[in-house]
Every structure is written in structure tokens, then in C-alpha cells.
Amino acid sequence: VTVRTFLVPATLATDRRAWIELDKFLVALPAGSRVVVARGDADSSVVKRPIDLSPNQALAAGVDPNDDSYCDCGWPYTLLLPRGNAAGLRCRLMVMCTDAAIDLVPVQGHCGSMSFCGAVDRYPDARDMGYPFNRPFAGSRATAIRDVILGAPNTAARTVMIRHTS
């Protein structure tokens, strides 16, 4: 099963272009099961450390642009979630499970993120980037996402609060 996680500020939940893919990963799930999946941070789409060199600095230092540094792809750890505020930023979190046999594009498996790393020059998903939000939905814009996506049996969504305290 391919597990796809998305987040959007609640005020923008009806705008398909505002949903951000947080992560995408493969997991073996028996049909009809209801489970909580925990996965190691090494497999996440989060870059754990800041990039050491800017692209210009890397070129000046003679770093080969064709090496395996593409494994350092993903969101910087400081930018994955919105900061929120003291009162809390209401967001919608969505998880969608899709058939990995359809989704999977063969890649060398030494990079952690199925979303962002790929196989150097290939996007690691047979579905379009941004799926299922990659094209408009039929119906009213105000209710299409709720009716089409969130009503599907392979999808779960919750309202979450992101709070920032000093």
C-alpha cells in the first residue's frame, strides 16, 4: 500500500492547490485492517540536517553534481509544518492509501523519501505529481474535495491544531 499524507490550513481546504504532500511511503497492510503505522525518521521526506553548501559553493568546491547527493532531497526540517500561533492554526490532515502495485515505479531503494528523491531523473510514482489533487474535481468547488476525496473508503481526514509557543 502507498500511504500518502497531506496537510492544508482549514481555511483553504476547498482549494485543491493548497494541499501539501507531507510524505509518501510504502507499507504492507492486510486488506480491511485498521492500524496505526509508525515509521522511522530515517525514511521520512524530512532532511535532518541543513545542507552544507549552497549550489554555487558546491560547484566552486568541485563537488560532482552527478553523485548521490540527490538522497539529501526533501523538505528542510525547519519548513515541514507551518509555524502556527499561540491560539493555534486549524489544519486538515488527510491520509490516503492507494495500490502500491499501480503506484510503484522501480527505483534504487537507498534514498528514504518516495515523495522527493526518486531515481535521480525519474519521479518515483506512476501517478501524477500532487495526486489526488493534481486536477480539478467534478462538482461544486466548495464541496468537491469533501465529497470526492474525503468520502472515499481509502481516505481518512481529521482537523488538527498547530500551536506555536515560545
Q: Domain holding 146: CATH number?
A: 2.60.40.1520
Per-residue pLDDT band at 118 (split at 50, 70, 90):
very low
Cell numbers 509544518: residue:
81
For the chain, the average pLDDT equals 78
d(CA 42, CA 93): 22
| pLDDT value at 68 more than 80 | no
Strands in the chain per DSSP E? 2-9, 20-26, 46-47, 75-76, 89-98, 155-162
| pLDDT value at 93 more than 90 | yes
The whole-number pLDDT of residue 113 equals 52
d(CA 166, CA 84): 11
d(CA 126, CA 122): 10
Q: What is the mean pLDDT of residues 102-106?
A: 76
| pLDDT value at 95 more than 70 | yes
**What is the grid cell recorded at 54?**
549552497
Query: What is the span of the domain harbouring residue 23?
Result: 2-162
Per-residue pLDDT band at 150 (split at 50, 70, 90):
confident
The whole-number pLDDT of residue 120 equals 54
d(CA 90, CA 109): 36
How many independent structural domains does the chain possess?
Answer: 1
Cell numbers 510503484: residue:
104
**What is the grid cell recorded at 87?**
491560539
How far separated are the first and last CA of the chain, in Å rounded? 39
